[in-house]
Amino acid sequence: MKCVKCGQKAAINMRHHKLALCKDHFLEWIPAQTQRFIEKYRMFSLQDKVLVAVSGGKDSLSLWDILQRLGYQADGLYIGLGIDGGIGYSNESQRLCEEFAKSHGLRLRVVSVGAEFGETIPELSLRTIRGKEKPCAVCGLTKRHIMNRAARDGGYDVLATGHNLDDETATLLGNTLNWIPGYLVRQGPVLEADKPGLVRKVKPLCRIYERDMAAYAILRGIEYIYEECPHAVGSNSIFYKELLNNLEAERPGAKINFYVAFLQAKENGLFAAQADPDLDKLHACPSCGQPTSAPGMCAFCRMTAKA
């Protein structure tokens, strides 16, 4: 197999794009694609201050690398969740984020949930109904809260996450199988800051296959954590990713088609009549100032307030 651009030996064959590229051309192609989607979905410009949420995984560290290569001003945010799982998961992912920042001369902000709220994610979960089975719901709520607060208080224009096409299609499949119109309306490359106290959120890698992101990280020599979060085992999202991978193996391009056709259908007004049911009920949480539809304090503040 040869690179379609230079005829040298191809390092990667992307059947879903009918495109084979050598290492050098692939390492140029990924940032060019990312730039294309940043522009297409009007995510941010060179003047904007971007905060990239980095988990230590291949996608978010690669995203930080790509944004730097493209000339954007992007700081990193690492949230210390205090998850060990027998592999020192959080410590190792923090170390990798710090190493990356240091070696690239970039600024990393670190927020430790344990140090700031007195309890780590596993500890918080044990105490709340939300986390009775697995800490993932508590973790998701906490990450959203901290990401928003860090971006808002740090004066950033936008918060970027490393969600890739596989993450987005797994979420989309879940929302479609359960037919949850409220989530479907809000799913997309950009989540506008349409409520007071909310920061704009963007996913510049939303159209890039997970496999291609892994190849990018490896070929760029980015050191990242290979392990998934130990609590992710058996999650719906991993199950949906497997289903989609089986589909993709038989029908190359199925994932990108599913996602892009969904965005197109939305643009054509498929969910236009679907108003956000919580919109009227929103008010600022008296404790943290983030919008909430819950009466009184938001779910995060209620969870972290000790009884």
Binding site for ligand FES (CB under 6 A): 81, 135-136, 139, 229, 231-232
> Among residues 26, 64, 72, 78, which is the contact residue for ligand AMP, using CB under 6 A?
78
Residues between 138 and 157 that touch ligand AMP (CB under 6 A): 143
- In whole angstroms, give the CA distance from residue 38 to residue 168: 16
167, interface contact from ligand AMP, Zn ion, ligand FES, none, CB < 5-8 Å by kind: ligand AMP
208, interface contact from ligand FES, Zn ion, ligand AMP, none, CB < 5-8 Å by kind: none
79, interface contact from Zn ion, ligand AMP, ligand FES, none, CB < 5-8 Å by kind: ligand AMP
Q: Please give the helix or strand (H or E) that residue 50 lies within, else none.
A: strand 49-53
- In whole angstroms, give the CA distance from residue 231 to residue 303: 20
Identify which of residues 59 and 212 has a Cβ nearer to ligand AMP in the complex. Answer: 59
Interaction of residue 53 with ligand AMP, rule CB under 6 A:
yes
139, interface contact from ligand FES, Zn ion, ligand AMP, none, CB < 5-8 Å by kind: ligand FES
Identify which of residues 116 and 133 has a Cβ nearer to Zn ion in the complex. Answer: 116
Helix segments in the chain, DSSP class H: 23-40, 58-69, 89-104, 113-117, 121-127, 136-153, 165-177, 181-186, 210-219, 236-250, 254-267, 299-304
Residues between 10 and 69 that touch Zn ion (CB under 5 A): 22, 25
Phi and psi at residue 158, in whole multiples of 5°?
-155, 150
Interaction of residue 106 with ligand AMP, rule CB under 6 A:
no
> Among residues 77, 139, 215, 301, which is the contact residue for Zn ion, using CB under 5 A?
301
Interaction of residue 298 with Zn ion, rule CB under 5 A:
yes
Residue 269 neighbours by CB distance under 10 Å: 8
59, interface contact from ligand AMP, Zn ion, ligand FES, none, CB < 5-8 Å by kind: ligand AMP
298, interface contact from ligand FES, Zn ion, ligand AMP, none, CB < 5-8 Å by kind: Zn ion
- In whole angstroms, give the CA distance from residue 261 to residue 99: 39
Interaction of residue 54 with ligand AMP, rule CB under 6 A:
yes
- In whole angstroms, give the CA distance from residue 58 to residue 284: 35
What lies within 8 Å, CB to CB, of 40 at 6+ separation is none
Number of residues that bind Zn ion (CB under 5 A): 10
CB 120 within 8 A of CB 81: yes
What lies within 8 Å, CB to CB, of 56 at 6+ separation is 78, 92, 93, 94, 95, 96, 97, 224, 225
What lies within 8 Å, CB to CB, of 204 at 6+ separation is 34, 37, 38, 43, 63, 66, 67, 160, 189
- In whole angstroms, give the CA distance from residue 300 to residue 136: 14
Identify which of residues 30 and 136 has a Cβ nearer to ligand FES in the complex. Answer: 136
Identify which of residues 20 and 76 has a Cβ nearer to ligand AMP in the complex. Answer: 76
Interaction of residue 189 with ligand AMP, rule CB under 6 A:
no
Please name which of 106, 107, 138 lies closest in space to residue 122, comparing C-alpha atoms.
Answer: 138
Residues of the shown chain interacting with ligand AMP in the complex, contacts defined by CB under 6 A:
53-55, 59-60, 77-79, 81, 143, 161-163, 167
Residues of the shown chain interacting with Zn ion in the complex, contacts defined by CB under 5 A:
3, 5-6, 22, 25, 285, 287-288, 298, 301
